[in-house]
Amino acid sequence: MKKNEQRKRAEEAFLTDRGRITNRDLALQLGVHPATVARWKKKDEWDLKLLKTVGKSAEKEQPTESFRETDLRHLSLLNARIDSYLKKKELLPSEILELAEAKFHIMGCMRMLEADMDEDWMEHEENDEHVFD
């Protein structure tokens, strides 16, 4: 199998598994080193692609984890990515752009969580009203 095909298969498996598969497991499946998978993941920005596909895939299939759990995990991934850049003393313009994009995606996740929590609160309020009727 060609490297490019392995890379595409690894990304597809990562996105299909919604980011839960480890670099080691992907590497074992494809016969490459886990560091290779980590490099592909970072260079091709799989975590950002995952964020863009979460809403689409969630509509098609029932998730094994709650949307909140998925969003919180994605927030954690993005924060870790930002933290790794902030440890550098100097940032390139491209890195500053990447940080800004990551923060943008974090804000989107926060809005999703907020909307989800608002819906739960509204349902809870409706249920409480029926109790007093």
pLDDT for 115-133, tens place per residue? 877 777 777 677 766 555 5
Q: Would the CA dihedral through 59, 60, 61, 65 be positive or negative?
A: negative
Judge whether residue 25 has pLDDT over 60.
yes
Looking at the structure, tell me whether residues 78 and 124 fall in a common domain: yes
**Averaged pLDDT for residues 19-32:** 87
Indicate whether 58 and 115 sit together in one domain.
yes
* 12 neighbors 39 (Cβ within 8 angstroms): no
Q: What is the pLDDT of residues 67-89, one digit of tens each?
A: 777 777 777 777 777 777 777 77
pTM above 0.75, yes or no: no
pLDDT beyond 60 at 57: no
Please indicate, yes or no, whether residues 78 and 133 belong to a single structural domain of this protein. Answer: yes
Could you list the residue range(s) of the whole structural domain that residue 106 is in? 46-133
Residues 80, 37 within the same domain:
no
